[in-house]
Amino acid sequence: MSDFPKASVRDADVAGRRVLVRVDFNVPLDNGRVADDTRIRAALPTIELLRERGAAAILVSHLGRPKGEVVPELSMKPVGERLAELLGAPVEQAPAVVGEDVETLAAGLSPGRVLLLENVRFEPGETENDPKLAAALARLADLYVNDAFGAAHRAHASTEGVAHRLPGCAGLLLEREVTELSRVVESPRRPLVVVLGGAKVSDKVGVIDRFLEVADRILIGGAMCFSFFRAQGIATGDSLVEEEGVKLAEGALRKAEGAACELTLPVDLMLGEEFDAATERRQVDGVEVPDGWMGLDVGRRTAAAYAEAIGAAGTVLWNGPMGAFELEPFAAGTRAVAEAVAAAPGTTVVGGGDSVAALHEFGLAGQVDWVSTGGGASLELLEGRKLPGMEALQDA
């Protein structure tokens, strides 16, 4: 990881100091309990490193979208309880994000101890990147560590503003995410095969654009293939077509004509009458969708061809499910891609909230080389955009 451009917590002198750590604890809750603790686990290495080196760790995260108000259901309390279990150590919970009481707690925190602040989005200044909130956060600590890769594409007070007021360095997760994802774009083992799916072309057109210049093959699936088919004048029936995506798909098809990278679309489909697991189903050879039907998954031939390309790749990047995998009858294409990625001999990287959820559901996440914790952040990084939460940190 020698070419990571920013200062790393590994090299920081933290003993006896108070360290404010931005983590991504934006986890799903179910009845006031943490339903999936993947993101909490992903932050443990940095927290443990700080404790071992005698720092007092003050953790801050957002949770859901309270929109600048105190929403009791979005309190960090259940997160702190789960964190304490995972750490096997007590976690003190602050009654607010900032303020005098929190400053007193932070000032009294002994080396090796952990304090968790309240949901930072309870403060309206967070998403506004208000300098007053950044200053109030900075008063709590001597050093800043950003380990919230999933929020690093946002210029908020706790991800960006505060880094201008305290010496800032990257946490272990942020560093690893950036290193793994950058390697896919900058120095992949070839051939580089990129599998893209999901709902909207507009979310991913930047990534398609970049990989038309960098990858050897791009395989398209999911609802976004229908924007491409519409652009080619093919009937899409009642399939989910993003209108804005049709123009973007046209642009990508035009760019692909002159590119060394091969852009591949599905050759067959699984159709349903409605977005429902109990709906009528029909596998069609070809990609025309009659009225009254919608494409809800790629077909068997497409899935097999994509799996073969994945198996032959030196590097595979997968982002976005191949179909409406939440509906079991339309999960086969996504499962085939997930299994191929898990079994692939090449380097494998998976990003995107729903794709990662699919991997976990199929029990395959452990067989992938790098599973990214960031959806939007991973896309922006792959597009080649700078992440504000990383840019603001000190250079290496």
Tokens of 50: 């700080």
Cα separation, 227 vs 240, in Å, equals 9
| C-beta closer to Mg ion: residue 126 or 354 | 354
Stretch that binds ligand ADP, among 49-57, 132-140, 165-173, 314-322 (CB under 6 A): 314-322
DSSP state of 28: -
Task: Give yes or no for a contact between 85 and 103, defined as CB atoms under 8 angstroms apart.
Answer: no
DSSP state of 127: H
**Near ligand ADP by CB under 6 A: residue from 57, 102, 151, 324:** 324
Cα separation, 353 vs 363, in Å, equals 15
| Residue 222 lies near ligand ADP (rule: CB under 6 A) | yes
Residue 349 beta carbon to ligand ADP: minimum distance, rounded to whole angstroms: 13
Stretch that binds ligand ADP, among 8-16, 107-115, 165-173, 193-201 (CB under 6 A): 193-201
Task: Give yes or no for a contact between 296 and 270, defined as CB atoms under 8 angstroms apart.
Answer: yes
Stretch that binds Mg ion, among 50-58, 86-94, 297-305, 349-357 (CB under 5 A): 349-357
| Residue 245 lies near ligand ADP (rule: CB under 6 A) | no
Task: Give yes or no for a contact between 104 and 128, defined as CB atoms under 8 angstroms apart.
Answer: no
Stretch that binds ligand ADP, among 36-44, 138-146, 350-358, 386-394 (CB under 6 A): 350-358
| C-beta closer to ligand ADP: residue 192 or 270 | 270
**Near Mg ion by CB under 5 A: residue from 111, 353, 376, 384:** 353
Tokens of 323: 């179909």
| Residue 376 lies near Mg ion (rule: CB under 5 A) | no
Residue 339 beta carbon to ligand ADP: minimum distance, rounded to whole angstroms: 16
Is 39 marked active-site?
yes
| Residue 389 lies near ligand ADP (rule: CB under 6 A) | no
Exposed/middle/buried for 150, CB within 10 Å: 0-12, 13-18, 19+? Answer: buried
| Residue 296 lies near ligand ADP (rule: CB under 6 A) | yes
| Residue 329 lies near Mg ion (rule: CB under 5 A) | no
Indicate which residue of 18, 22, 39, 154 is catalytic. Answer: 39
| Residue 352 lies near ligand ADP (rule: CB under 6 A) | yes
Site for Mg ion in 109-128 (CB under 5 A): none
3-state secondary structure of 300: helix
**Near ligand ADP by CB under 6 A: residue from 40, 49, 223, 336:** 223
Q: Which residues of 2-22 are buried (b: 16+ CB within 10 A; e: fewer)?
A: eebebbbbeebebeebbbbbb
When CB distances are held under 5 to 8 angstroms depending on the partner's kind, the choice from Mg ion, ligand ADP, none that residue 321 binds is ligand ADP
Indicate which residue of 200, 247, 281, 300 is catalytic. Answer: 200
Match 């692909």 to its residue by tokens: 256
| Residue 238 lies near ligand ADP (rule: CB under 6 A) | no
Q: Which of 345, 271, 283 is nearest to 308 (CA)?
A: 345
Cα separation, 100 vs 115, in Å, equals 15
One-letter identity of residue 354: D
Cα angle 319, 6, 158 (rounded to 5 degrees) comes to: 75
| Residue 320 lies near ligand ADP (rule: CB under 6 A) | yes
| Residue 242 lies near Mg ion (rule: CB under 5 A) | no
| Residue 341 lies near ligand ADP (rule: CB under 6 A) | no
**Near ligand ADP by CB under 6 A: residue from 78, 80, 171, 198:** 198
Is 376 marked active-site?
yes
- Measured CA to CA in angstroms, residue 288 lies from 11, 206, 233, 284 at distances of 57, 27, 10, 8
When CB distances are held under 5 to 8 angstroms depending on the partner's kind, the choice from Mg ion, ligand ADP, none that residue 355 binds is ligand ADP
Say if strands 268-272 and 281-285 run parallel, antiparallel, or are unpaired.
antiparallel
| Residue 354 lies near Mg ion (rule: CB under 5 A) | yes
Q: Where are the alpha helices (DSSP H) in the chain?
A: 38-52, 77-87, 100-107, 125-128, 131-138, 172-186, 201-214, 225-231, 243-257, 300-311, 332-343, 353-361, 376-383, 388-391
Residue 82 beta carbon to ligand ADP: minimum distance, rounded to whole angstroms: 23
# binding residues, ligand ADP (CB under 6 A): 20
| Residue 355 lies near ligand ADP (rule: CB under 6 A) | yes
Chain residues in the site for Mg ion (CB under 5 A): 353-354
Residues with a catalytic annotation lie at 39, 200, 353, 376
Residues lying near ligand ADP in the complex (CB under 6 A) are found at: 197-199, 203, 222-223, 240, 295-296, 319-321, 323-324, 326, 352-355, 375
